[in-house]
Structure 1
């Protein structure tokens, strides 16, 4: 069974392409210490079924999934269509 983790923050580049903007995601471990993963690692974690990630805003929990656009893998919330800018765009910057 995959472990679940809430994504609470992201790091982004200044790129215009929304599929390449997010470089890292992060959150808090159960003991309150921060965690942070590169997008490449988060994608590997999701694809291997080792981890399931989600975001939560205003009491609404949405799963994070992998997608591919023009041969480039990225993450998005299940509530998004092709643009990965729904709930993930609302998160604060990771330290």
Structure 2
């Protein structure tokens, strides 16, 4: 059975190509424990059917996070309703690099 996780924040790297700037996604478990996973781990988990990720937008409700493909740079994460770049996903709050989630 697929485990569903709500994404509350991202970690980005502006030095990467725009499609690949989201390097980590994260949130909190039902017990309040924070979690974080690299974009590569999230992509693999989505593709294997292990995890499903979603984000919640006040104006649109729940939106799945999906794997997209850039012909030059490969797989990346984006919100389901994003077209080519992860614009909606990148609108989530940024968690700082030194935060150990």
What is the CA RMSD across the aligned residues, in angstroms? 1.3
Q: State the SS of the aligned residue for 2:20.
A: coil
User: Gapped runs of 5+ residues in structure 2?
Assistant: none
Count of residue correspondences: 94
Alignment of 1:11-90 (within 5 A): 11-15=11-15, 17-58=17-58, 60-71=61-72, 72-86=74-88, 88-90=89-91
Question: Higher strand proportion, which one?
Answer: 1
Gaps of at least 5 residues in structure 1 are: none
Deviation larger for 9-18 or 33-42: 9-18
C-alpha contact 1:5 1:53 (8 A) present in aligned 2: yes
* TM-score (normalizing by structure 1): 0.91
The 8 Å contact of residues 22 and 39 in structure 1, kept in 2 or not, is answered as yes
Q: Does structure 1 retain, via aligned residues, the 8 Å contact 2:22–2:90?
A: no
Correspondence 1:3 to 2:10? no
The alignment's TM-score, normalised by the length of structure 2, stands at 0.86
Query: Partner of 2:30: helix, strand, or coil?
Result: coil
